[in-house]
Structures are given as structure tokens and as C-alpha cells.
Structure 1
Amino acid sequence: MVLLKRLAAAFCLLLCTAAAAQSSRAIEIPGWFAESFLDFRDDVRDAAASGRRVMIYFGQDGCPYCKRLMEANFSQRDIADATRRDFVPIALNLWGDRETVWLDGRTRSEKDLAAHLRVQFTPTLLFLDEKGAVALRLNGYQPPPRFRLALAYAAKAKPGGETLAQYLAARPPPQERTIAPAPGVFREAPLALAKGRPTLVLFDARVCDPCAEVHDAFRRPELQAALKSMNAVRVDSEGTRLVTTFTGVKLTEAQFAASSDVSFRPALRFYDADGNEVFRIDGYVRRFHLASSLDYVLSGAYKTQPSFQRYLQARAEREREAGRVVELW
């Protein structure tokens, strides 16, 4: 039975590889990713028997962040070795039709499983522990120094144990850029969240390379114009200033970041005019995706299109049809 499953998985992988080879936008997956029959109950059980955990990768062709993960992260020997040592890595296509069996026993296609798990970004990585619980979820790309920390955490994380934010706080990143927020773009004081129109809260840190890049992007006129239509608040995730939440509760910046499930910085939280969170970004993001996230919320598109990826595809196509260059990376 095991042999038959392996042969079937290998045949399925061969078909998928052949199909991907026909696309110039295909993302090459490392050959050491597992050949799985995509019954994740079996995958979790088999991984645990070998002293490892399951890592599920959701990606798609043409995704620059997925390409970066494969070429900048998994190409590094120590990252590849740690992944192979501690995890059974399994690749899924965000829009794929292969049949999967999730931990609840239900059969779904890859794309239906992605929708069930509310995958909004590619890459998204789910790390499952020995019992199938999600030990860590990474929504979006993280550069190698941060990704190494995420792998180490996911290999040992336990329910009710140390959070990723606590783990990261005890392991400061290497020397990074000091942020330089554009003046007048974000509300600095008072830090009070107000209803009445959409709100963006940007959680950053004073020394943080990706944060500095986001602040650079917000210097662009088109992004600043979008921010004028919403309440834009900057919160230092390690800060001590008081933040007044939508419900009137006063928290320090650090407490507010913790209550908002912030681990890696920058993190963006979008709220509607009534103070309800409607969208979030937790991974490394470039200008087009940043601008698209603002439009996704301000236009109200999130109300009718729950898939941010489909919204991105449609927006990129409109931009190209209008003769504008779309720089995804």
C-alpha cells in the first residue's frame, strides 16, 4: 500500500512538473520537497514517526515572493538543511485541482483547501506539529535572517508555549536600517483609533530593514494620496506611548502590538469605518502589493472579493491594459 501511494504521488508530481514546465512563469520547487498523496492525516503521522513536522507551502506561478523564497532562502545550504532535518515539506498550488484530504477528513481540491484555510498571500507556509495543530503560520515572504528564526521556532513550538513574538524578542536581528518615516504621513500623536472612516495601523520598529522599505514606499505621491482617505496611525511595536483603541481601552504600543498578533515587523492592520479589522499584512511587501492593499480596503473590494490574490490579478491586468508597467517586485 505504501509503495502504491508513493508511486501514485510520484506520477502526480511528474504530471504537475510537466505542466509547470510549459509556463515561463512557473516557480521551480526544490527537488527535496516531499512526494505526497496529499492526505495530510497520513503526512502528519508519517512525519512524526520520523521525528519531523509537516511544512505546507502554498504558492502560485508568477509569484515574485514565491520565487524569492525558493531562490534566496531555500538556495542557502543551512536553510535547506534545517528544513529537511526538521520538516516534511509539501508544495500546493493556490489554484490547483489536485485532490487533498485535510485533517478534518474532508476531501478538497488544492484551491478549495486554500480557500478553507483563508490563504490570502503567496507564499503562505503552515507548519503542523506532531498532532496536526498549526505550530506556526507565515503569511507572506520573510527574508533569510527572519526565516531562519521562523524555522527554528516552528520546529519546537508547543501549544500554550512561547509565542513567536516572544521568541523573536529574545533574538534581536542583525544590524538593520533605522526607519525614517515620511513627515505628515502617519499620525504620531495622539495615538487614538477613531471610527468614521477606514483606518490603517502600521506596526514597525525603530531598527528594521523591511520597515524602512515600507516607509520609503509611503513617500510616493500615489500612496500618500491614498492614505489621505483613511486614518493612518504608526505604532512602534516596542514603544511605550499610550494607544487608545476603538473601544476606548488604553494600551502601550507594545501591548497593542501583542494584542494585535504582531510578530514580524512591519505588520499592517486595516479596519473599516466601524473599527472592525477587515484585512492584514504580516509578510514582506513591495510597492505594488502595498498600493493594492490600500485600494482593496478603500474601494470596498474586500466586501465582494474575499480573495486578495484574485483582486491582485485583476488589478494588475487592468494596469497592463491601460499601458502601465506593473512591477511586482
Structure 2
Amino acid sequence: MKPFSSCAAAILMLLSLTPGIEASESAELGEYRGARDAEHPAWFKESFLDLEEDIAEAAAEGKRLVLYFWQPGCPYCAELIQNNFAQRDIGVAMQERFNLVAVNMWGDREVVQVGGRFFTEKTLAEALRVNYTPTLMFFNEQGRVALRLDGYVPPERFRLAIDYVSQKLESTQTFRDHVATNDAPVAEGVLHDEDFFQAAPYDLAAAVVDGSTRPVAVFFEQKQCSQCDILHRVILSDPATRELADDFHAVQLDMWSETPVIRPDGTRSTAREWAADLGISYAPSIVFFDNRGREVMRIDAFLKTFHTQSVFDYVLTRGYLEEPNFQRYISARAERLREQGIDVDIWGY
């Protein structure tokens, strides 16, 4: 957890494969499908975006502040509102325990100064490296980030997040441990193998030597994991996804196992220890490393096919070097595909 002042300092510091199909001149523009909007509930807090004041006001009411980063047309944001917040127990808990302030990641509203600087919604989102929408940041009474959810998580996991933050458990345990104690998923109960997964032993330090053209993708999974089942049965079975996945040095680790692994930096560890150090609490999570062993991207929330493929493409092409804003990258990627006559469905499988 970082003090809000530390976050402010970090903000100030932060400020300083598309498929190989040839586009023809006569190709019709591909369709764009899957965008969804949902009206924000009336219980969302109207705010002047003075974050320190909002934190203090929430504390005075016996609540905590949540910043909710969203964008228009985001199907995952719509799912959060229509599938999570619409469920009575979740909606009531959010209203009673939190003040939620919506921040449009492309918005121009001014945020009252943080650490002596003024930001707009857009520049704040950029400074906080918001790669996915929705992103939710839960603050405690001292302005520390108690929990951050990067991307959409289904209702059962979201309930655990609500309980974790509202009960102030961050002072005694990690969210990962809270999930491990309380999660009871209905799943196939197996780790799904893929032919592009590397076999043990897992020496990732040897895989990230300079000159390597294959980035590393580490799939942290668990046996009782319904979303892992979907990843393998649906998303990774898509031919375009598999074509991208084949270009990674990919390994699969049971996030709770004692499987030996040498991390990209050469540290000897177990899968369980490494997952804990990375703060992995969601399965499946995929963490990507470049050829110098630096983490460049991760997926640790629910994504469907287009967004999963886009993350793979972003890492493989090193798109992050030219476009650090992932949302801008996937928008441009969608347009490139459509110009080739390829339909883009951002919410389908």
C-alpha cells in the first residue's frame, strides 16, 4: 500500500501482432461490435474531484473512497454496473460502505491539485497507469490504496473485494490470502495443458537473455478456476489467439504450488512464492516479461478474446515502447483490422 502522498510523488514522476493479412484497396471496412454503455447508478457520488477532501468526507461518514476509472463504450464497465452493481447485495454494500467517484479516463474535468499539481481526469489516469477499464482504487482513511482492481472481476470475486476493504483487512492480510481463504469456485478442477507451454524445469533467467526475440509469458493458474477453464476452452482455442501465443516463451504455473522456478532476474523460488511477491490474487493471471526480464504487462482480470489477443500483440510487437497507453493501442489496432475488412467484436468470444 502506498500513502496518497507517495502516490502523488509517483504521479509526478510518471508524468516527467496484427494478423498478417494484406489490406486491399477495395476491402470494405470491417464491422465494429460489442461496445456497450450503462447509465451510472444514482448512488455514485457527485464530486469536485478534490481527492483528499473526498477521502476525508468518506471517513467522516464511516465509509471509504473508491475511484472508478471508466470510458464510454466499455463493455466491461457496463458489465460491472449491470451484472455486479445491479445485484442487490453488492449494490447495497457499495452504497453503505463506500463513496464511489467515477473518473472518465479520457475526461477533461480538472482534478484538484495532488502533491502541488493539477490534473485532468485523463492525465490522472495516464499518471496512474490505468491500462484497463474498469479500474477501481479503494482508499483507506489515511489516503493509502487499500486495494486496486485493474479490470473487470465477476460478482463472486467482487464480493470478496468489498468485504476485504470494508472490514479493513488490508492491515492484517493480503487480498491474495483473503481470496484463498474464502473463494469457492465451481470449476473442472484441472490445469489445462497447451502445446505451447514449456516443460519443466522452468529457468526463465535463461529465456530472457539479450537478443532473444521471444518475450516470456507466465500463466499463473489454479485447478479450481472457472475462468481458467474459459481461457483454455474458448479463448486459447481460437486460431488467431494460438498463433499469437506460439510466439511467446510461455510457462504455466500453479499459483499455489511449490514448483521450483528460476525467475527472470535469476532468483530461485517456488511458484507460490513468486505469485505472492507479484501480488497475484486472480486466476488466471498472465504476466509478461521482455528480453531483459522486466515486467511489461499483465492480465489479472476477466478479458474476452479481442482484448486478450490485443495484450499478446502489444507485447509481441513491443507496442508499449511507442504507445504507453494500452487503450489507445487497442483502439488503433481495432481500426487497422477493420481497414483490412476484418470484423472486430470487443465483447465476443
TM-score by length of 1: 0.89
CA distance in 2, matches of 1:27, 1:132: 29
Q: CA deviation at 1:183?
A: 3.3
Q: Deviations over 1:42-63 (max 9, x none)?
A: 1111100000000110001111
**Aligned-pair identity (%):** 42
Higher relative contact order (CA 8 A, sep 6+): 2
CA spacing shift, 1:146–1:251, aligned 2, 3 Å: same
Point out the more displaced range, 61-70 or 221-230: 221-230
Q: Deviations over 1:34-90 (max 9, x none)?
A: 111111111111100000000110001111110100100000000001111110011
Q: What is aligned with 1:258?
A: 276
Point out the more displaced range, 26-35 or 307-316: 26-35
Q: CA deviation at 1:161?
A: 2.9
Alignment partner of 1:172 is 2:183: yes
CA distance in 2, matches of 1:162, 1:180: 27
> In the alignment, which of 195, 215, 227 is matched to residue 232 of structure 2?
215
Q: What is aligned with 1:7?
A: none
Q: CA deviation at 1:103?
A: 4.3
Q: CA deviation at 1:268?
A: 1.1
Q: Which runs of 5+ in 1 are unaligned?
A: 1-23
Q: What is aligned with 2:133?
A: 122
Q: Which runs of 5+ in 2 are unaligned?
A: 1-34
Whichever residue aligns with residue 340 of structure 2, its letter is: A
CA distance in 1, matches of 2:195, 2:48: 53
Aligned residues: 306
Q: Deviations over 1:81-125 (max 9, x none)?
A: 111111001111010011112543432110011011111100000
Q: CA deviation at 1:259?
A: 1.6
Point out the more displaced range, 90-99 or 236-245: 236-245
* Alpha-carbon contact 1:182-1:219 (below 8 Å) kept: no
CA distance in 1, matches of 2:294, 2:77: 30
SS class of match (2:264)? coil
CA distance in 2, matches of 1:85, 1:249: 45
* Alpha-carbon contact 1:59-1:91 (below 8 Å) kept: yes
Whichever residue aligns with residue 229 of structure 2, its letter is: A
Q: What is aligned with 1:280?
A: 298
Superposition RMSD in Å: 1.6
* Alpha-carbon contact 1:93-1:111 (below 8 Å) kept: yes
* Alpha-carbon contact 1:179-1:211 (below 8 Å) kept: no
Whichever residue aligns with residue 45 of structure 2, its letter is: A
TM-score by length of 2: 0.84
Q: What is aligned with 2:62?
A: 51
Q: CA deviation at 1:324?
A: 1.4
Alignment partner of 1:305 is 2:316: no
Q: What is aligned with 2:17?
A: none
SS class of match (1:41)? helix
Q: CA deviation at 1:275?
A: 1.1
* Alpha-carbon contact 1:202-1:234 (below 8 Å) kept: yes
Q: Deviations over 1:100-151 (max 9, x none)?
A: 1254343211001101111110000000111111010000000000000011
Whichever residue aligns with residue 196 of structure 2, its letter is: V
CA distance in 2, matches of 1:291, 1:90: 31
